């Protein structure tokens, strides 16, 4: 081979094998990266949900001739709303207190407001609460009194919020009345907030559960009314109610005991004779066991509600008894407090007895001078002693709470003869079988 021809060819071959320039190298790297496989990620998602349900209750309170009350009420005299709350937390009850001419001397010419918690028992954990109080004027426009978030303990009032007379005058309606609104939100006492696995259908789950519960109640009511597949009869005089043993036994330990005992007539022939209560009360009891409610409780007839409480006590349908206690507590007055106290004691109605105690603590100077109280003192000395002891203990707790909170924990005294109040306590049941009211 001729070396002279081979040289240039060899040199050219060597040059063609030289390393690429920096620009070419960068292009080469990008090309290699684009075509090389990417590492795959292993992603694990843990879905969780924290379900929290806040309770909400609202008071609408119309106070007639409020402009006159601001002028005629003495400093320190107050108005107290009836208790309000929600059935889901029966031991938590609220009262709104209004002093048309101020709570203390320095509050004169102002209207004092504060919210009071009256249901929790001594020693229970405080509940954090968000609340707002406002009035609706003649045009339906809100006139704000306050909005705050505080924690409440047993028998504790939080305030006091001062509003000038001039501002309250602008909030009055055309007839001179004041329409007060109090909205309260809180968590049920003892609620436990936990993290649970999330459900993709959480957004609609609560609505679906509500619909299902409503359908069950409606179906149960139709089943009762149509007497479909009934297997027992409740006789009340000449009237009768056909029912189902499984429903009665599920909601009443007394009925359950009847049907489980083969030696009892009720278990043998399925006939239950009730002669110590009126038909209306028996019907209300049965309706409540089927549907969780009864129209009879919406009546203004206090006598029938007392009889429903009595039959609920006898057959141990405690949820119905509790509803009756709350309704009766809202009817306490200076005239009937002694008779309600006896009634509450007769049927071991602890909620109702606490309401009596609370009302007595606010009006003791008037009540202990009435003929009815003197008769009660003579006939039921033990009951009188118990009520007065509870009043004293309640005032001691209120004093300690007020001292620890300062002005923000202001509590009303017992001076307001214009006041009415109803309290509740947790359900501590002392079993006592009593005769129904005549």
Domain ranges of the chain: 51-186, 216-331
The predicted structure's pLDDT at residue 41: 65
Query: Which of the residues in the chain have pLDDT under 70?
Result: 1-41, 51, 121-124, 154-160, 190-210, 299-302, 394-438
The predicted structure's pLDDT at residue 312: 96
Question: Is the CATH number of domain 216-331 3.30.70.100?
Answer: no
The predicted structure's pLDDT at residue 65: 93
**C-alpha closest to that of 217 among 316, 298, 289, 142:** 289
End-to-end CA distance of the chain: give it in Å, rounded: 139
The predicted structure's pLDDT at residue 150: 84
For domain 51-186, the CATH class is mainly beta
CA distance 271 to 174: 60
pLDDT in tens, 350-393: 999 989 998 998 898 999 999 999 999 999 999 999 999 988 88
pLDDT in tens, 131-159: 999 999 988 899 998 888 888 876 666 66
What are the residues facing 116 on neighbouring strands? 95, 157
**C-alpha closest to that of 353 among 375, 378, 382:** 382
Q: At what angle do helices 318-329 and 302-314 cross, to 10 degrees?
A: 150
The predicted structure's pLDDT at residue 194: 57
**C-alpha closest to that of 343 among 353, 334, 351:** 353
* Environment class of 203 (CB within 10 Å of its CB; exposed 0-12, middle 13-18, buried 19+): exposed
What global pTM score does this model have? 0.51
């Amino acid at each position: 081979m001729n070396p002279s021809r081979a040289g240039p060819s060899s040199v050219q071959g060597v040059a063609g094998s030289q390393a690429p320039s920096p620009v070419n190298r960068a292009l080469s790297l990008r090309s290699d990266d684009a075509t090389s496989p990417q590492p795959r990620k292993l992603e694990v998602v843990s879905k969780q949900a924290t379900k929290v349900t806040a309770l909400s209750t609202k008071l609408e309170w119309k106070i007639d001739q409020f402009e006159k009350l601001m002028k005629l009420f003495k400093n320190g005299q107050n108005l107290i709303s009836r208790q309000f709350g929600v059935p889901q937390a029966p031991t938590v009850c609220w009262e709104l207190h209004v002093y048309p001419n101020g709570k203390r001397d320095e509050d004169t010419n102002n209207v004092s407001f504060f919210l009071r918690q009256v249901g929790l028992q001594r020693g229970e954990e405080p509940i954090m609460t968000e609340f707002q109080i406002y009035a609706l004027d003649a045009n339906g426009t809100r006139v704000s009194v306050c909005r705050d978030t505080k924690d409440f303990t047993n028998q504790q009032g939080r305030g006091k919020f001062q509003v000038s007379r001039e501002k309250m005058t602008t909030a009055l309606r055309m007839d001179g009345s004041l329409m007060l609104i109090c909205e309260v939100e809180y968590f049920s006492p003892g609620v436990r907030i936990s993290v649970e696995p999330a459900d993709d259908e959480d957004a609609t789950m609560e609505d679906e559960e509500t619909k299902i519960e409503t359908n069950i109640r409606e179906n149960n009511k139709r089943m009762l009314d149509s007497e479909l597949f009934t297997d027992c009869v409740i006789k009340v005089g000449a009237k009768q109610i056909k029912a189902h043993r499984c429903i009665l036994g599920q909601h009443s330990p007394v009925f359950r005991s009847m049907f489980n005992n083969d030696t009892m007539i009720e278990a043998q022939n399925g006939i239950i004779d009730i002669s110590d209560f009126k038909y209306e009360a028996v019907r209300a009891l049965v309706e409540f066991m089927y549907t969780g409610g009864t129209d009879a409780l919406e009546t203004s007839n206090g006598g029938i509600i007392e009889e429903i409480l009595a039959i609920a006590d006898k057959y141990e349908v405690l949820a119905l008894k509790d509803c009756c206690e709350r309704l009766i507590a809202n009817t306490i007055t200076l005239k009937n407090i002694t008779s309600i106290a006896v009634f509450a004691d007769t049927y071991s109605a602890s909620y109702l007895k606490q309401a009596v105690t609370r009302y007595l603590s606010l009006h003791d100077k008037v009540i202990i001078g009435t003929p009815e109280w003197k008769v009660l003192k003579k006939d039921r000395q033990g009951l009188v002693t118990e009520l007065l002891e509870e009043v004293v203990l309640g005032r001691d707790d209120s004093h300690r709470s007020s001292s620890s909170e300062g002005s923000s924990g202001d509590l009303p005294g017992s001076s307001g003869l214009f006041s009415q109040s109803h309290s509740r306590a947790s359900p501590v049941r002392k079993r006592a079988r009593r005769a129904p009211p005549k």
